[in-house]
Structure 1
Amino acid sequence: MKTKTKNNSKYTEDWIPIRNISNGMIVLDNKKKVTGVKIRPRNIFILDQSTQDNVLIALKNFYNMIDFEFWLISADRPVDLNNYLARLQLLYNQTPNPAVRKLINQDIDKANDFMNNNITDTEYYILFKEKNDDLIQKKLRTLMTGLANSGLEASQVSNDDLRIILDNFLNSGMTTNFGTVIS
């Protein structure tokens, strides 16, 4: 009879069967790979009723034709407006017109409010697990084509996307600050 070995590690990372994240795939200890597509959000509710109905019917057909296990995931990613704020500040400093400066200053205040309120973008993913590289490519094409036929854009997940998904999962959706020191 086998005895269970107890993992005495204090770190969650030691319990997770992840070997590597590369080429838009999470490589597991059992050599299976987790990958999928990132779906570009689209607000269909601003479209006319007929178009909405067509998109929903196409999505229903798309989901019904998927013949493999998949996970539909939504993940929040913090919005980083630092580059936008820097460009606004440069524009503010270069603009002599007081009316335009006032408008730019209002935009700066609004962007700072967004950052102070921890505004996030919600991103959507369809992930699956597979060992065979040819089947991975076939499933990716199936997902991207099916979503395109439904009027949605999709691309293979990136390494950063997968890290964000793992971070959200492991930290209960709480925001973490990678590489920063908080005092």
Structure 2
Amino acid sequence: MAKKAKTSSKFSEDWLPIKSIQNGMIILEGNYLVTGIKIEPKNIFILDEQSQNNVIFNLRNFYNIINYEFWLIVADRPVDINLYLSQLHLQFEEAPTQIARKLVAQDIEKAELFGSGVVNAVDTEYYILFRDKSTEVLQKRVQTLISQLASTGLVSRQVSQDDLKFLLQNFLNGGVKNDFGTVMSNV
């Protein structure tokens, strides 16, 4: 008797061992949980040379004390300047002089260029993710990493559900957000 070939999914998402995303964690098959921290970027190149060296030295020490498997992820997110544009339009309407209106109009033109796709404006985001089967272990690691990064002069926080969804979309869809299968309503 011939075996029937098993139909394979066309979608890479179906191959991933992800059950769900809840409470700032990715829940995997096998009862593993993945969470982590998001690190706010800091431009060290505007600092003097000694300060740059201190930040690099502190980061090296920070990475060397992590004694478990982790993933360092760098991802680009398209810049959303809609709020900034709205504020500029309000400033334009309230400008007291023609010169001020002209300056604000020039700023609006520049901002619209960034939002148009002609300029590929992105925010670079930094994440450290890790996994374990214990929620308590994960929360302790998150708090420890946040405090250690604070001692290096960097600001960080635990990843949110939106952060985790963004990371998955970034890897699976090239950063393009889609709402396939999502029920939308105007409430």
TM-score using structure 1 length: 0.89
Aligned to 1:80: 80
Q: 1:10 to 1:62 in 2, by over 3 A?
A: same
CA separation in 1, counterparts of 2:153 and 2:144?
14
> What's 2:138 paired with?
136
Structure 1 unpaired stretches of 5+ = none
Distance 2:66 2:106 in 1: 48
Equivalent residue of 2:153, what SS? coil
Query: Aligned letter for 2:176?
Result: T
Distance 1:7 1:17 in 2: 18
- After TM superposition, give the deviation of residue 93 of structure 1 in Å: 2.1
Which residue is 1:16 aligned to? 16
CA contact 2:39–2:155 (8 Å) conserved in 1: yes
CA distance in 2, matches of 1:22, 1:87: 34
Kept after mapping to 1: 8 A contact 2:166/2:175: no
Hey, what's the Cα distance between the residues in 1 that align with 2:84 and 2:178? 20
Residue 62 of structure 2 aligns with which residue?
62
Q: CA deviation at 1:90?
A: 2.3
**Aligned residue in 1 for 2:123:** 121
Unaligned ranges ≥5, structure 2: 181-187
Deviation at 1:178, TM superposition (A): 3.2
Tell me the alpha carbon deviations over residues 39-88 of structure 1, each in whole angstroms, 9 at most, x when there is no partner. 00001121122221111111111111100000000011111111211221
Percent identity, please.
51
Q: For the structure 1 residues 106 and 130, does the alpha-carbon distance in structure 2 shift closer, same or farther, using more than 3 Å as the test?
A: same
RMSD: 1.9
Partner SS for 1:20 = strand
**Aligned pairs, how many?**
175
Q: Which residue pairs with 1:34 in the alignment? A: 34
TM-score when normalising by structure 2: 0.87
Which secondary structure state, in structure 1, belongs to the residue aligned with residue 30 of structure 2? coil
Q: Report if the CA contact (8 A) 2:169-2:177 is conserved.
A: no
Q: Which deviates the most, 162-171 or 88-97?
A: 88-97
What corresponds to 2:109 in structure 1? 109
